[in-house]
Amino acid sequence: MEAADSRNSVPPGRARPFFAFVCVVLVLAALACVRPLLALPGELPELPVAFWVMAALAVGCDARPFVPPGRRQTSAVFPSTCFTFAILLGWGLGPAVAVQAVAVVISGWRLGHAPWRTAFNAGQYACALSAAQAVTWLGPGAIFDGGRLRGTDVLAVGGATVAWFAVNYALVSVAVRLRFGDRWWPSLRQGLGFELLSTGSLLLLAPVLVAAARASAALIPLVLVPLFAVYRMARLSVEQQQLASLDPLTGLPNRKALLAEVGEQVHLHAERAARGEPGARLALLLIDLDRFKNVNDALGHAVGDRLLVEVSARLTGVVDEETVARLGGDEFAIVMTGLTDVDEARELADRVVRALAEPVSLDGLPLDVGGSIGIAIFPEHGEDFATLMRHADVAMYDAKHRNDTVAVYAAESDHNSAERLGLLADLRRVLESGRPAGAPAGPVGAAEPVGAAEPGGALGGPTVVVPVGPAPGAGSQGTGGTRGGDGAALPATGVGLPAGVGRWRLRRSRKLTEPPHPDELINRIVTAADPIRRRAASEAVGPDQHPVVPGRHDGVGRPGGQDAATTRRAAPPADAGAGGHGGDRAPAGRPGIRQDAAPQHAADADPAVDAGEITMYYQPQIAIATGEVVGVEALLRWWHPSRGMVDPEELIRVAEQSAVMRLLTRRVVDDVVEQLAKWSAAGLALPAALNVSVRDLHTGEIADQIADRLARYEVPPERLQLEITEGALMADPRRVLATITRLHRIGVGIALDDFGTGYSSLQHLRRLPLSEVKVDRSFVLGMAEDADDAAIVKSTIELAKALGLRVVAEGVEDERTWRMLHAAGCDAAQGWFYARPMPAEELVGWLARYRPVRPTPSPDAEIPRRHAR
């Protein structure tokens, strides 16, 4: 009946309290049973035949106890419980304790129990019988002592049954606690249902057995039939538990069993760590077969199942006493306990890899199936099953991505942390919040004019058309009071669209309440990094000034944007060549300040309600030969109330893994097309390019959406251009090509972004309906100093020109690069040398101040000669 482990040893350090408890139980049993046992010799001659039949059956049945398959011997079913409890009800405590003691000795001998285990079992049963006897005294007289049973007798029998079970189970619980420590409760809780079913059924059969004995002793053996039924119920219950915890194909433990095993081992290893003992770590190894899907697809699931059985056999052959489980599909797990170092887990993983590397021969066909293994260690990588499992999964996929076989969890490889899930939820919330009240949803033919802002913020006065081409009489740039192409004075600020146009908010941002920092430099940096402070500063400096806001962030649809934080370079002096473009670049010698360092206004924004503000920024694209602005690239910015400005690279990486990317693209398309319509209404015919994700190109939805928006806002298709990366093309070339072809037929331009970073560039140039190629910034940034980069850029330009494609260079940050691109024949460029990305309203003001500058021949514009290797 004991639910503890069947081993006959006691863990070190627990022997004294455990054996002290055993002695206490034996003393209590002796005190409770001494008088009945002393009176027993005189009662034996008077005991009826029925008693001797029950005693013989009790001892005989316990000589061969029912041990359900898959259970420990300590969970065996002892039929003597039924007979001894019936003897207690019919003939008293002394005969019952004596028969139970003999049965315990016999069963202990058969099961190989240590003497102390046998003594404890006898003592616990004696205490349980004594408690039941005390309850029967509550009835009027002796039960079954002639006459009919009354209601109080039935209650007394029920109470005795409960008392027997409660005392017995309580004594076992305390013994297990003293013997094994804190991990006693899971075992007892899991075994409670089994004990209630088996032992409870035996106890409830005892009154029926006594009633049959009163009629005739010959009826007593018939109780063996219901006893066998009890055994069958116990067996079926265990088999159901086994089926629920075993994989039906391989016979290995399943995820449920693995959860229980890891939970128990975590408790055990936590105790070891608390005591400072060695071997306090455990490892969870997650194994995923590499080419199992190919076998299923080529040879069928029947062969795949046979392969899984063979793999499970190999895994169990590699490990010694460790737990091997199948989680489902082609995923397996191994729990390795008692570790002192992670190298031991790596050693086991290497053995598993070697075992799986051998081909599996099925029907004479050798199948090559390898595996990738991720390792998570307790307690470094998690202190519960869910955390260890997730981190092992991250490590396993990390091994796959690195074309490796074994990887240990590393935090930098975890791209799906709880923080990112929260960021994704916030992004979905801000996208689903809808456009701000009053934002036009239809054509904007009656858009508000672009002009100077009157006091109070209302727009009025005549419409001022901002020229895009070169203007005569270019003068000083970057100062107030610049002149447009017609010579009319245009204020540096206050020119453009109303504040807030083209932005999506969940709620209106609150006013900035923090006082300025006493240090002027720190105050400028914080103001530049915080959009709220920046707008407040713009309102405070007056119409004749334009605050410089340094900061670099990526665009939507591709990692590592134009202003990515890779290869920061100092800008040339402001008076060098075209350097003085309205102060739109970081000051000389100072790298751009990241806007994601914005202060966290936790007290000013409730993250549960405010998910921040999404804004489109626009970076000008300049024709290198003439200096004219020939277009802009739309870039995404998200200011989060607690994280500040979110890194666009992280934003896109998070969004691309879910359906939120579709929402994000839909809102970006809506905003950019609407902005083009507003610029057209203001007399500004400016094309715009935007990036799209690979998820957007897998269906034709984006083509339908763009066609609908262009028609709704009455924007010519040639004013919009989509930039796609080579990675998007390689993901699913057939579906992506179909979507691109539809967009090309609509009239939308297609540009190949980050050209040169993929693996099939020439094939794409030949097959796709492209109009433009963008040279990746990783080559442009280094071409002034690296001959290899310069040669790649020049070759790319020549190749694109030969195919009739326009070439745009990204990442132009200094004057020498600008001149080198002109010498190489590049059509256009964008980068911080010309202008930073800026909101739409700032872009209009920048255009009013901008004066084209044409490059002049210079010795440093020559492409450096590449040395032979």
pLDDT digits (tens, 9 = 90+) for 805-836: 999 999 999 999 999 999 999 999 999 999 99
Structure confidence at residue 797 (pLDDT): 92
CA 687 to chain centre: 40
Is the predicted pLDDT of residue 363 greater than 90, yes or no?
A: no
- Paired residues of 367 in beta bridges: 360
Which has more confidence, 285 or 442? 285
Average pLDDT over residues 699-712: 90
Which has more confidence, 409 or 861? 409
Say if residues 820 and 812 touch (Cβ distance below 8 Å): no
Structure confidence at residue 588 (pLDDT): 32
Is the predicted pLDDT of residue 453 greater than 50, yes or no?
A: no
- Token couple for 380: 């470094």
Which has more confidence, 582 or 220? 220
Is the predicted pLDDT of residue 53 greater than 50, yes or no?
A: yes
Phi first, then psi: give them for residue 146, nearest 5 degrees. 85, 155
Q: Using CA atoms, how far apart are residues 595 and 643, in angstroms rounded to an integer?
A: 11
Q: Using CA atoms, how far apart are residues 487 and 470, in angstroms rounded to an integer?
A: 12
- Paired residues of 284 in beta bridges: 335, 376
- Under the banding of pLDDT at 50, 70 and 90, the label for residue 707 is very high
220 closest CA partner among 90, 65, 92 = 90
Average pLDDT over residues 334-338: 91
**Is residue 558 exposed (0-12), middle (13-18) or buried (19+ Cβ within 10 Å)?**
buried
Q: Using CA atoms, how far apart are residues 257 and 235, in angstroms rounded to an integer?
A: 19
640 closest CA partner among 420, 422, 426, 425 = 426
Q: Please tell me what DSSP assigns to residue 806.
A: E
Is the predicted pLDDT of residue 390 greater than 70, yes or no?
A: yes
Which has more confidence, 442 or 232? 232
Element spanning 725, H or E: strand 720-725
Rounded to the nearest 5 degrees, what angle is found at the Cα of 681, between the Cα atoms of 680 and 685? Answer: 20
CA 638 to chain centre: 22
378-392, 592-606, 853-867: which has the minimum mean pLDDT?
592-606
Structure confidence at residue 322 (pLDDT): 83
- Token couple for 97: 């304790």
Structure confidence at residue 864 (pLDDT): 60
Out of 261, 810, 841, 842, pick the active-site residue. Answer: 810
Tens-digit pLDDT profile for residues 59-68: 888 776 665 5
CA 580 to chain centre: 47
Mean pLDDT (the chain) is 74
* Tokens 């400096």, residue located: 541
Tens-digit pLDDT profile for residues 653-679: 777 767 788 888 889 999 999 999 999
- Percent of the chain residues past pLDDT 70, beyond the cut: 68
Average pLDDT over residues 618-639: 94
Element spanning 763, H or E: helix 761-767
Structure confidence at residue 861 (pLDDT): 62
Question: Who contacts 275 (Cβ-Cβ below 8 Å, separation ≥6)?
Answer: 13
138-147, 509-518, 556-565, 696-705: which has the minimum mean pLDDT?
556-565
**CA atoms within 13 Å, Cβ hemisphere of 381:** 27
Is the predicted pLDDT of residue 199 greater than 50, yes or no?
A: yes
Structure confidence at residue 594 (pLDDT): 34
Question: What is 7-25 written as a DSSP string?
Answer: -S---TT-HHHHHHHHHHH
- Percent of the chain residues past pLDDT 90, beyond the cut: 21
Tens-digit pLDDT profile for residues 394-420: 899 888 888 888 999 987 776 666 667
Structure confidence at residue 850 (pLDDT): 93
Say if residues 350 and 318 touch (Cβ distance below 8 Å): no
Is the predicted pLDDT of residue 176 greater than 60, yes or no?
A: yes
b/e sequence 89-119, b meaning 16+ C-beta within 10 Å = bbbbbbbbbbbbbbbbbbbbeebebeeebbb
Structure confidence at residue 585 (pLDDT): 34
Say if residues 730 and 746 touch (Cβ distance below 8 Å): no
**Most confident among 151-155, 400-404, 512-516, 567-571 (mean pLDDT):** 400-404
Structure confidence at residue 138 (pLDDT): 67
The three state secondary structure string of 513-541 is: CCCCCCCHHHHHHHHHHCHHHHHHHHHHH
Distances from the Cα of 216 to the Cαs of 51, 53, 209, 639, 719, in angstroms?
A: 11, 11, 11, 89, 105
Q: Using CA atoms, how far apart are residues 571 and 813, in angstroms rounded to an integer?
A: 6
Say if residues 650 and 707 touch (Cβ distance below 8 Å): no
- Token couple for 323: 């737990």
Is the predicted pLDDT of residue 630 greater than 80, yes or no?
A: yes
Element spanning 652, H or E: helix 648-655
Structure confidence at residue 293 (pLDDT): 83
Structure confidence at residue 463 (pLDDT): 33
Q: Using CA atoms, how far apart are residues 344 and 350, in angstroms rounded to an integer?
A: 10
Which has more confidence, 541 or 449? 541
Which has more confidence, 237 or 593? 237
Which has more confidence, 118 or 441? 118
**CA atoms within 13 Å, Cβ hemisphere of 197:** 17
**Most confident among 328-332, 449-453, 806-810 (mean pLDDT):** 806-810
- Under the banding of pLDDT at 50, 70 and 90, the label for residue 853 is confident
Q: Using CA atoms, how far apart are residues 469 and 683, in angstroms rounded to an integer?
A: 13
Tens-digit pLDDT profile for residues 786-801: 888 899 999 989 988 9
Helix 93-111 with 115-136: angle, nearest 10 deg: 150
Which has more confidence, 257 or 14? 257
Helix, strand, coil share of the chain (percent; to 5): 50, 10, 40
Q: Using CA atoms, how far apart are residues 186 and 303, in angstroms rounded to an integer?
A: 39
Q: Please tell me what DSSP assigns to residue 384.
A: S
**Most confident among 29-38, 62-71, 477-486, 553-562 (mean pLDDT):** 29-38
Say if residues 407 and 376 touch (Cβ distance below 8 Å): no
Structure confidence at residue 824 (pLDDT): 92
Strands 688-691 and 720-725: parallel
3-state SS, residue 444: coil
- Under the banding of pLDDT at 50, 70 and 90, the label for residue 761 is low
Terminal-to-terminal C-alpha distance of the chain: 82
3-state SS, residue 614: strand
310 is catalytic: no
**CA atoms within 13 Å, Cβ hemisphere of 359:** 9
53-57, 151-155, 539-543, 674-678: which has the minimum mean pLDDT?
539-543
Say if residues 495 and 464 touch (Cβ distance below 8 Å): yes
Rounded to the nearest 5 degrees, what angle is found at the Cα of 516, between the Cα atoms of 453 and 513? Answer: 70
